Structure 1
Amino acid sequence: MTSMVWLSKFVDKFGEKLPTNNKIHLPSCLTRGNVYWIMKEEVEEQGGSVCSQQYFFRKWRHEMSHVTIPKVNRFSKWDICTKLKPCLEKTTGREERQTLLQERESHLFQQK
């Protein structure tokens, strides 16, 4: 699976289409780096090979420029979002990170 096919599925799953234009926002609790690492973990779990982060960002910018991650949510901030993002950035333990990632994914599904 190519990185842009994966990103397209991720956007379908978690993106919010804006009513006033063709832009799609991913949840503000994510960063592009988070999205890359989620893709990397999922693809490698399935035995696939992963492109470099730099290549992924470049392809995203050129092929899916309508997909962005806002710095802040247009609506109210959820307590769990504001807590999970810094925890994920600081966590180095694999098991703790996996637990936080599952928590965030569950939260994102609930939001959707």
Structure 2
Amino acid sequence: MCHGCVKEEYPERENMCLDNGSFLRNFAGCAECRKLEIVRIENRKCTEDENGIELVTYQHVCLCCGHIIGQHEYTFKVEGEFQVYQMECILCGNGEDERSILPVDPRGPQLM
């Protein structure tokens, strides 16, 4: 993970959890080649363990020189009556969200 390529390391993204894509607003430019180009996604893998937890991982890579900007991790799991999403990435940030699997959320209406 490259600290020189991002404006802010692991920005707080609240309930935003991405299983694909890049948060380009946080990209300062490649620390290796000094270019500010589109970030490529490489080595995307999706796995599921015996507990039903889905894990998506991939790397953010500089389009020009191949420098690895960061490693992105996204998880999805079901806990009781809720779907839980989590994201951790130096570029895209940290986020966590929880959604009810029931037609009506037992916690009541959620404020945005």
More helix by share: 1
More strand by share: 2
Query: Which TM-score bucket, shorter chain as reference?
Result: under 0.3
TM-score w.r.t. length of structure 1:
0.28
When Rg is computed on C-alpha atoms for both structures, the one with the higher figure is: 2
TM-score w.r.t. length of structure 2:
0.28
